[in-house]
Amino acid sequence: MESNFSYKRIMLKLSGEALKGSRCHGYEPAALQEVVARIKQIRDKGIEVAVVVGAGNLWRGNMGTGMDRVNADYMGMLATAMNAIAIKEFLNQDGIPAEVYSAINMAPAIKLFDREAAMNSLAAGKIVIFAGGSGSPFFTTDTAAVLKALETGCEIVLKATKVDGIYSADPFKDPGAVRFERISFDEALQKNLKVMDAAAFSLCRDNGLHIGVLNFSDPEALEKLLKNDTSSGTIVS
């Protein structure tokens, strides 16, 4: 790996919306190809990449139906499995080996999560995609990403968003919002910044797992942040 990279093994947290592109829902091939291009860009530098993807392109909670929260969350877990398989398929088409592991039993479509197997896959240069969230309802995919990052020895969780980092307010609504390049966990709490959900943020803080926030549509942002260049993102540590 190039010596100017600060992290050897990373967790990339993608939203399901990253897969739908310009469509209202579902998948757009160009969007999936863009996801693959970003992953390939850093994998080719020798960085080991784990991925957790949300389900917002397919399912968004109970969507006002009044459905039981537990059942709605399980439906979301199933949707993340579909997204994980889609990303694996597009990675494979580009010649990039990938494995999908699920927190809930989905055999034979997806292997059940095995920590040792997942870590061996990462060490072998495969992209490892985790599906099924945390395996339990009431937890977001942010928390699932952090849990799997901790279990597999990742050094940073990179949250791919539509903005170039963490701001003091919503930059789409407040033109005076200030972007932070680096911020501590304590300062983020004091300023009540919504970096991740509370459970995910606390796990990162308590275990010293860095958080990176970047604009995934910027082709240079991911590589820059992994070099500790915060001109296109924010690092919480």
Tell me the three state secondary structure of residue 211. Answer: strand
**CB–CB of 48/10 below 8 Å?**
yes
* Cis status, amide bond into 219, omega within 30 of 0: no
For 9-13, 79-83, 227-231, which range has the lowest pLDDT when averaged over its residues? 227-231
Mean per-residue pLDDT over the chain, rounded: 94
pLDDT at 3 over 70: no
Looking up tokens 């990675």, which residue turns up?
A: 91
**CB–CB of 60/72 below 8 Å?**
no
In the chain the domains, ranked by start, together with CATH numbers, are 9-236 (3.40.1160.10)
pLDDT at 72 over 80: yes
pLDDT confidence of residue 194: 85
Tell me the three state secondary structure of residue 164. Answer: coil
Q: pLDDT for 94-111, tens place per residue? A: 999 999 999 999 999 999
Percent with pLDDT over 90 in the chain = 91
pLDDT confidence of residue 66: 81
Mean pLDDT, rounded, for 12-19 = 96
pLDDT confidence of residue 65: 73
pLDDT confidence of residue 5: 85
Q: pLDDT for 164-204, tens place per residue? A: 999 999 999 999 999 999 999 999 999 999 889 999 999 99
Predicted TM-score of the model (pTM): 0.94
Tell me the three state secondary structure of residue 149. Answer: helix
**CB–CB of 51/128 below 8 Å?**
yes
